[in-house]
Amino acid sequence: MSCCGGSTSCGSSKPKVVTGSSISNRKGIELSFEDEAASNVNISTSTTTTKSNSSCCSSNSNSGSSSAGGCCKSSTSAPTSASNDSCCKSSPSTKEIKINEEESNKTIISSDATEINSETNTVNTFKGCPSETPSAGSEPVCSSCPGKTACQSQSAAGNPDKRDIEIRMKVIKHKILVMSGKGGVGKSTVSSLLAYGLSCGSGKQKVSVLDVDICGPSIPKLMGVESKQIINSEYGWMPPKTPNHEIKVMSVGSLLNTPDSPVVWKGPRKEAMIRRFVKDTFWGKQDYLIIDTPPGTSDEHLSIIASLKNCNPSGAIIVTTPQDLSVSIVKKEIKLCQELHVPILGIIENLSGYVCPCCDEVTEIFKSDGGRKLAEQYNIPFLGKIPIDTNLGRCSENGKCGVCEHPTTPGVLAIQSIVENLEKILNKPQ
């Protein structure tokens, strides 16, 4: 029971929840979301004095005496008595942190969950993080963590869609994420080529593609479904299928009024859409679900990994280009997978050499073997190289299957080799 009349509010403030946001689209599908505003965090390097729970703070020394149990008083209100076993303290809602004057130039505590060492340029994330416990996302240390909502979605209480997601995903044999911390390395192109390569293989396997690049969806154009609509049926969202091989493709690009419409959403809306893609899409029984992710290590990655956490995802494929600049950024994605316990199936080196359109000779135009060296450094399987092949480029631009159109070009041969290596890893006895 609160009895504080001071000018500073007791306890920590709860995040404000804004509901009722929605969008409608040309397919007549209503999409609704909940936005959760992040609470503010103040950082202080000053020395503070903390009162114990047994003592009682006073807002004004001129106020009257307190009752036997002790109680806070406001300078403008009359004394108010409190029970003997409790007393509220007039303390700020955000925690002030004491930093030793000698260490203040080396270490910055940005929150209870992150420690940044400016001298060594290292970041120790999730210090004391309860992400692997049932209280993930609900502890005080989680209040300022950017991954709070992703952790909350791990529990059934925090994620009411958990059971529906598991039902949808359990009939899909292999769920593979295509990731890279670097933009422009060709993740979406690799995702589409992998889908075509798996579906064109000897087994004629059933393949679906999920595009979680919410702000920059390119999968619909690459897979030739840019003009096709999503159908809202009694079984869920029916994704469009490619003209060849009937590969199911789900992307936010199929929900936009026009292909040029921008998607200007914050993290909670992105997370809600990704969950709906996973739980509301009628995937059916599939051999492979290829998940194309955006660059970086942010909301979309946390959301899809948290959604699939209890569905036994097969792992992630890391895409890089040969240059050292790309390799150095891709290392961040490898670290993310290791911290979130996502198995890494292998590394693909894309844009590795140029295929002559006349004689099919491959010429190295960038530094070579950056992906192979990265795989050796982290003891990760190297799946192979994909050269720049103009035949594959034309097919991708027109939404056609390059694997079927040009089965003997060096680019397609590289894709087929990568698919074979991937299947060997996935079918290896555990």
As a whole number, mean pLDDT of residues 276-296 equals 95
Domain range 162-426, its CATH number among 3.40.50.720, 3.40.605.10, 3.40.50.300, 3.30.420.40: 3.40.50.300
pLDDT at 123: 57
Closest CA to 291 of 267, 307, 272, 268: 307
As a whole number, mean pLDDT of residues 293-300 equals 90
Is residue 22 predicted with pLDDT exceeding 90? no
Exposure string of 300-334, with b = 16+ CB inside 10 Å and e = fewer, is bbbbbbbbbbbbebbbbbbbbbbbeebbebbbebb
Exposed, middle or buried: residue 37 (CB in 10 Å: 0-12, 13-18, 19+)?
Answer: exposed
Cβ–Cβ under 8 Å, residues 396 and 317? no
Residue ranges per domain, the chain? 1-99, 106-152, 162-426
Instruction: Note the pLDDT tens digit of each residue in 354-400.
Output: 999 899 899 988 777 899 999 999 999 999 999 999 999 999 999 99
pLDDT at 187: 95
Instruction: Note the pLDDT tens digit of each residue in 183-200.
Output: 999 999 999 999 999 998
Cβ–Cβ under 8 Å, residues 425 and 397? no
As a whole number, mean pLDDT of residues 99-116 equals 46
Query: Cα angle at 85 between 81 and 90, to 5 degrees?
Result: 60
Mean pLDDT over each residue of the chain, to the nearest integer: 76
- The pTM assigned to this predicted structure is 0.67
Place of tokens 């409190």: 82
- The DSSP secondary structure of 97-112, one letter per residue, reads ----TTTTTTEEEEET
Exposure string of 335-355, with b = 16+ CB inside 10 Å and e = fewer, is ebbeebebebbbbbbbbbbbb
For residues 146 and 38, give the distance between their C-alpha atoms in angstroms, rounded to a whole number.
9
Instruction: Note the pLDDT tens digit of each residue in 207-262.
Output: 999 999 999 899 999 999 988 989 999 999 999 999 888 999 999 999 888 888 88
As a whole number, mean pLDDT of residues 265-280 equals 91
For residues 231 and 237, give the distance between their C-alpha atoms in angstroms, rounded to a whole number.
6
Instruction: Note the pLDDT tens digit of each residue in 299-344.
Output: 899 999 989 988 999 999 999 999 999 999 999 999 999 999 999 9
Cβ–Cβ under 8 Å, residues 124 and 114? yes
